[in-house]
Amino acid sequence: MTNEQVTHLLQELVRIPSVNPAGQPGTSHTGEAQIAQFIAEFLHKLGLDVERHDVQPGRPNVLGRFQSQGQRLRITLAPHTDTVSVAGMVIEPFGGEVRDGRLYGRGACDTKGSIAAMLAALARCVRRKEFRTGQLDVDFAALMGEETGSDGAHALCSRGYRSDFAIAGEPTNCRVVHAHKGSLWFRVITRGRSCHGATPELGDNAIAKMATVVHWLQNDYASALQQNPHPSLGPPTVNVGVIHGGQAPNIVPDRCEVEVDRRTVPGEQADRILEEIRLRLNAELKMIRNCPALFTPPDHPLIKAIGAPVTTAPWFCDAAVFAEHGIPAVAFGPGSVAQAHTDAEFVEVDELHRATDTLEQFLIRLATTA
């Protein structure tokens, strides 16, 4: 595929709505079914064996498999197909307009740019004899539901999926992200006793109890976390992001809850974190979701084979799910996280082409190396 064709491919992908339906998607065109069909047809035309697995109704993973003659090594290209909400965007979210060297639209950066680069690199490779007769098997795993907890990656890996190395498609400025923090979301609930607001001494104020909880989390606990930095990622962090409680100003509230985002570093375990907090607060805790941290050694030979600078990231992605299941993994793709999820999302076209070239060279190098 030429660079012009790669750009056109990304435009086609952006013009297919694949908004995650969670929360307020900002459109009625949600789910990954349509883009999954597009990718499945593209892979089928390349001669790959293609499987489709519905993780949730109308929300499939797509797995395309290229099998070499040598079968020495299996690599997985794993971009996610869902995007965040289009609510509040100041550009046409599904326009795919190219202007001043940038391609605009929801997902152009996160992470349809990676889908396009990975598909294009694979398309270039399978047309080359030395690749088809080489020693590299390649799976293309288009995964749903990454934006709300990596449901697609969990579904794939829980089926016993195996590979020697996985590259999650993410906006990394064409650098290899070998480590990132995890994200543990949990809910804290305090309970009290309702009564008339005119006689608060007869009740037990759940919001007042929660004020103590929030103060401890954002101050004492946050400070303690700073004392245990990870050598590559820095310290774990905590943020109280949501609070609900009470019915009216003249009613003493009997219930209050907060939702907390605890960013984790490699080596931390969610169960231990929650138990530590539960014992300290003597409050109800409920896990909402847990996205693990990632650490693949930066000197891993397949990281070196990519031939791009190595870095870390503050966000989480599907790479950690592969690693959790014993598959060394990294994230790589065109675009900057600074543009992801924004109201005028874009990717630099030159970077899209650079990512495609890097991935093509990586695959060819592995296929033809004895």
What average pLDDT does the structure give for the chain?
96
Asked if the model's pLDDT at residue 45 lies above 70, the reply is: yes
Give the contacts of 153 (CB within 8 A, at least 6 positions apart).
Answer: 78, 80, 143, 146, 168, 318, 321, 322
pLDDT at position 282: 80
Mean pLDDT of 130-158: 95
**242 exposed, middle or buried (CB, 10 Å; 0-12, 13-18, 19+)?**
exposed
Last residue of a domain, one of 263, 291, 319: 291
- Write the single-letter amino acid at 31: G
- CATH code assigned at 312: 3.40.630.10
Last residue of a domain, one of 291, 306, 341: 291
Statement to judge: residues 230 and 280 lie in one domain:
yes
Statement to judge: residues 9 and 147 lie in one domain:
yes
Give kind and range of the element (H or E) at residue 106.
Answer: none
**pLDDT tens column, 98-121:** 999 999 999 999 999 999 999 999
Mean pLDDT of 45-71: 94
Q: Which residues of 122-154 are buried (b: 16+ CB within 10 A; e: fewer)?
A: bbbbbeeeebeebbbbbbbbbbbbbbebbbbbb
Asked if the model's pLDDT at residue 228 lies above 90, the reply is: no
pLDDT at position 37: 98
pLDDT at position 35: 98
Pairing verdict, β 237-245 and 176-180? unpaired
Mean pLDDT of 168-196: 97
Statement to judge: residues 252 and 319 lie in one domain:
no
**Rounded to whole angstroms, how far apart are CA atoms 131 and 120?**
15
Mean pLDDT of 139-145: 98
Give the total number of structural domains in the chain. Answer: 2
Statement to judge: residues 279 and 304 lie in one domain:
no
Statement to judge: residues 325 and 241 lie in one domain:
no
Statement to judge: residues 24 and 133 lie in one domain:
yes
Instruction: Report residue 328's pLDDT band, with 50, 70 and 90 as the boundaries.
Output: very high
Residue with tokens 């905590």: 238
Asked if the model's pLDDT at residue 164 lies above 90, the reply is: yes
Statement to judge: residues 41 and 122 lie in one domain:
yes
8 Å CB contact between 334 and 95? no
Instruction: Report residue 69's pLDDT band, with 50, 70 and 90 as the boundaries.
Output: confident
Instruction: Report residue 370's pLDDT band, with 50, 70 and 90 as the boundaries.
Output: low
* Residue-range definition of the domain harbouring residue 81: 3-180+293-368
Last residue of a domain, one of 273, 291, 309: 291
**Rounded to whole angstroms, how far apart are CA atoms 247 and 215?**
22
DSSP string computed for 322-365: HHHTT--EEEE-SS-TTTTT-TT-EEEHHHHHHHHHHHHHHHHH
Statement to judge: residues 225 and 354 lie in one domain:
no
Helix (H, G, I), strand (E, B) or coil at 240: strand
Asked if the model's pLDDT at residue 238 lies above 70, the reply is: yes
Mean pLDDT of 144-161: 95
